[in-house]
Structure 1
Amino acid sequence: MYEIIQEDKSLFLYLNNLGSQTFDQFWIMISSTWIWVPLYIIFLYLLFKNYKVRNLVFILIFIALGVTVSDQLAGIFKTGIARFRPCHDESLTGLMRAVKCGGQFGFYSSHASNTFFIANFMSLLLYKKYKWLPYFLFLWAMIVSYSRIYLGVHFPFDILMGAAMGFFLGGLFGSLSLKVIYKQNNSAPTAGL
């Protein structure tokens, strides 16, 4: 385990030190939530365009539940494992670019988990209509996730674990959404009700 952690730190230092002050504001913006609000509105529009309003309500409930689970699990892991963020790791002082810093612990990345959740969830619900969408979504999730390494708030392994959890949860909640939608669309009203 010690060797894996050292490799993770080495990879982090390599990726983090690729940055320069010129691009810091760009990556801070990429890492922000508010910048992606227009994209979320586009997602909502695509769902509205392809699903009935009743189904859309279920989809939004599953998105809210899934993102909450994704976020809360990351918080449980962070306090349970208690791995310092790079910017709080004294062994990296003077070796890394700390553009931003967050809470004390960073394993695993909520940003990676949430973006990969959305990428997989939306891909499952819309890929039949928009074959290009999964490529765009997963590229977006990777860019947002990389921003966390660039800024100095997560190690690569934090990102990989977050991405894996988000991907899994997105698949789970996306599949549940599709099952509920299928059931809703194929349930005939019972006579006499």
Structure 2
Amino acid sequence: MLEQLIQFDQNLFFAINHGLNNPFFDWLMPALRNRFFWTPLYLFIIVFFIRNYGKQGWIMILFLGLTFGFTDFFSSSIVKPSVQRLRPCNDPDIKADVKNIIACGSGYSFPSSHATNHFGLAAFLIVMFYPKWKMILPLGLFWAASISFAQIYVGVHYPVDILAGAILGGMIGYIMGTILLTSKTFKSWKPGN
């Protein structure tokens, strides 16, 4: 069963890494996964929180930072060293067939920290703002999924790495958002304020 799952994962990886190969994606996907590409969005979120929510905004920024810290710690420092799955671009059995668009990196593959971190941030924002802005759900999931998909396209992660990261990150983001909403400071939280 495990061998079949690994084979399916590799087949799906190659369907994305090779099958969707085109010049536009070759330009777009490395940009999507680059943290500097999203810097304007991160700055907007910080300014938006502080300007619109004052003290609560600062607390949200703190919890957003903690969410990122927890997702990155669990994926990079706990799960990856325990599982030790090689990245597709480092796997000696298939690396000759992988289309590398970026440098491979030396870290392990499972789960994807990009997926864990971004689904964690998306889940946190969804928990905080969904009651007022329903569009945060599809936008947040699309944002995290596009960054995660880029990880497969550029050759550094398998689809199962992304799925595991999305689940782990989503759980951590949900927990952090729920903790914040149940705190005394956020008992009367109304995201439209």
Structure 1: distance between partners of 2:187 and 2:146: 39
- Is 1:116 the counterpart of 2:123? The answer is no
- Give the C-alpha shift of residue 25 in structure 1: 2.6
- Give the C-alpha shift of residue 21 in structure 1: 4.4
Q: TM-score, normalised by structure 1?
A: 0.88
Counterpart of 1:5 in structure 2: which amino acid?
A: I
Aligned partner of 1:99 among 90, 101, 111: 101
Give the corresponding residue for 1:161.
164
Structure 2: distance between partners of 1:186 and 1:9: 47
CA contact (8 A) 2:116 2:167 kept: yes
Q: How does 1:173-188 map to 2 (within 5 A)?
A: 173-180=176-183, 183-184=184-185
Structure 2: distance between partners of 1:185 and 1:27: 38
Percent of aligned pairs with the same amino acid: 32
Structure 2, gaps ≥5 residues long: 189-193
- Give the C-alpha shift of residue 3 in structure 1: 1.3
Structure 1, gaps ≥5 residues long: 188-193
SS of match in other structure, 1:131? coil
- Give the C-alpha shift of residue 78 in structure 1: 1.3
- Give the C-alpha shift of residue 175 in structure 1: 0.6
Report the aligned-residue RMSD: 1.8
- Is 1:132 the counterpart of 2:135? The answer is yes
Quick one: structure 1 residues 186 and 125, their matched pair in 2 at CA, closer, same or farther if it must change by over 3 Å? closer
User: How many aligned positions are there?
Assistant: 184
CA contact (8 A) 1:88 1:104 kept: no
Write out per-residue CA displacement over residues 117-159 of structure 1, whole angstroms, 9 at most, x where no aligned residue.
1111111111222221221111011100000000100000000
SS of match in other structure, 1:90? coil
CA contact (8 A) 2:33 2:147 kept: yes
